Amino acid sequence: MIRASIAGASGYAGGELLRLLLGHPEVDVAEITSERLAGKFAHGVHPNLRGATRLRFRQMDELSGVDVLFVCLPHGESSRRIDDFRRIAGRIVDLGADFRLRDPAAYERWYGGAHPRPELLDQFVYGIPELNREALRDADSVACAGCNATAAILALTPLAAAGIVKSAVIEVLVGSSEAGSQATAASHHPERSGAARAFKPTGHRHQGEIAEALGVENLHFSATSIEMVRGVLATCHVFADRVLEDRELWRIYRDAYAAEPYVRIVKGQSGIHRYPEPGILAGTNYCDVGFERDSDTKRVVAMSALDNLMKGAAGQAVHAFNLMFGFPETAGLEFTGLHPL
């Protein structure tokens, strides 16, 4: 059994990660941390885990040695404590943003300041298995991708790899859990209920990840909050270098994803579920992708949907972990979702 601990297990992503690891056939969860809730039972903040564990939160400084440490901390904490983490565990899976970008200049552009540990950026493997499967097998440090970035990257990777993306405009609709478990003025129920609110029309940090992962610079990204708890729906308007036919698009996407356990091509001819939608993916590690061409122009609309707390965070982390330790990629991730919700 692999001994694993979670630093920062009281948030939504940390709770999902704990849920997954408790059900993983090859994992023993040793310790979980929360500075604010130290001494409290995990099920006090994650009531779905009542009866599944008697673990109590500990403080970070109390962590003992384990095989792998999962880090679910606010931005800036991982880079500040990375040396401590490496003394605790031989392998690290970071769900935060500190080590997602490899280029220090890109980090400074998107995060507004110099990276505190730039010499470590190229030591972390970007944690999207569909992009970096072989590198993850040998990794001891993984930086999981942002949830919005994951959705956009998986929608666009087949087209970018085919070299046909001249530019793209990406719009993501996101649920409230993306903002985290701590309440803010924007997440206060009277303000959030019924919302359809643009919150980052330009300058979103995930744009840097998308550009770096795809190798495409002419990208434009906007994010809008809607009344949904879990989920991301990415609609990507791709301006191609030529008119593309349906048959070619099908070939491009099938070649990219036919063997992927957690990417499904969703493009029906009829019915209400003919395109990707996040609602049916709640609690799963799937990313559904689809596409539609504009027959009058060179535009292709690439779409994707995922659960931001799963494929965009905890599920992605467990998938990467499975690759790192040589377990079946689907271990602990078999849940197929519910319908209707």
22-51 average pLDDT score = 97
Q: What span, in angstroms and rounded, lies between the C-alpha atoms of 144 and 324?
A: 13
For residues 136 and 154, membership in a common domain is answered with: no
184 occurs within a structural domain: yes
CATH at 198: 3.30.360.10
For residues 9 and 141, membership in a common domain is answered with: yes
Q: What span, in angstroms and rounded, lies between the C-alpha atoms of 32 and 56?
A: 7
The pLDDT of residue 5 is above 90: yes
Q: What percentage of the chain exceeds 70 in pLDDT?
A: 100
For residues 321 and 279, membership in a common domain is answered with: no
Which tens digits make up the pLDDT trace of 264-276?
A: 999 998 999 999 9
For residues 43 and 135, membership in a common domain is answered with: yes
Which tens digits make up the pLDDT trace of 55-113?
A: 999 999 999 999 999 999 999 999 999 999 999 999 999 999 999 999 999 999 999 99
pLDDT score recorded for residue 191: 83
| Residues recognised as catalytic | 147
For residues 212 and 114, membership in a common domain is answered with: no
Q: Which two tokens stand for residue 57?
A: 């939160």
Q: Is the pTM of this model over 0.85?
A: yes
266 occurs within a structural domain: yes
Which tens digits make up the pLDDT trace of 230-244?
A: 999 999 999 998 899
For residues 127 and 41, membership in a common domain is answered with: yes
Residue 263: which domain range? Answer: 147-306
CATH at 314: 3.40.50.720
For residues 175 and 230, membership in a common domain is answered with: yes
Spell out the long-range contacts of 82-87 with Cβ–Cβ below 8 A and sequence spacing 24 or more.
Answer: 82/117, 82/120, 84/60, 85/7
For residues 301 and 314, membership in a common domain is answered with: no
Report the number of distinct structural domains present in the chain: 2
For residues 170 and 302, membership in a common domain is answered with: yes
In terms of Cα–Cα distance, which of 91, 42, 54 is closest to 71? Answer: 91
For residues 31 and 120, membership in a common domain is answered with: yes
Q: What span, in angstroms and rounded, lies between the C-alpha atoms of 18 and 5?
A: 9
